[in-house]
Amino acid sequence: MSFIMQAPVPAVETTSVLPSPLFNNAESRRLSVEMRRSINNTKRSYVKSNARSRVTYSFKVTRHKGEEVKQFILAYYRSKIRWTDHLGDVWEGYFTSNPFSISGAGRASGSPGGEYQEIAIQLEGIRLSYATRDQC
C-alpha cells in the first residue's frame, strides 16, 4: 500500500503519493509524567495523556519524487495535513521535523533522475481512523 499526503485540511488542494516507507518507521504517544510530593512527603505521580502521537517515516524515492515531496513540504509545512499511512490508518496533524532530511541514497539506473534519495519525515497528529487488520 502507498503513503498519501494531502494538504491543506479541510479544503484539500494538493495530494502527493509516496511508496511505502522503509522498515524503520516509528510511533510514540505524547504523554507526560509529573512527580509531586505532598506536605507529609508522600509521593504522587500524575500522567497527562492525549490522543496525539509523533510518527517518523523514512522513504527511498527517485530524485523527481524527492523534489515533489520537497516542494510539498515547502508549500505546506505550516498547514494542517492529512496522511494515510501504508497500513491504511488516516491521520491529521503537522510536520514537526526542521530541517527536513533529504539525502542521496545511490544510483538508479533506468529510473528518471538517475538517483535515489532517502527522505525522513516526522509528523505529529491525531489518528482519525484505523484500517481493518486481519487477525493471526
pLDDT digits (tens, 9 = 90+) for 79-96: 999 999 988 899 999 999
Which element (helix H / strand E) includes 71? helix 63-76
pLDDT computed for residue 109 by the predictor: 66
Q: Where are the domains of the chain?
A: 3-34+46-129
88 dihedral zone (left: phi>0; alpha: psi -120 to 50; beta): left
pLDDT tens-digit profile of 20-64? Answer: 888 877 777 777 788 899 889 899 888 887 888 899 999 988 888
Record the cell numbers describing residue 25, joined without a space: 518507521
Q: 29-38, 68-77, 100-109: which has the minimum mean pLDDT?
A: 100-109
Residue with cell string 523527481: 64
pTM: 0.74
pLDDT tens-digit profile of 113-134? Answer: 678 888 889 999 999 988 776 6
Higher-confidence residue of 40 and 99: namely: 40
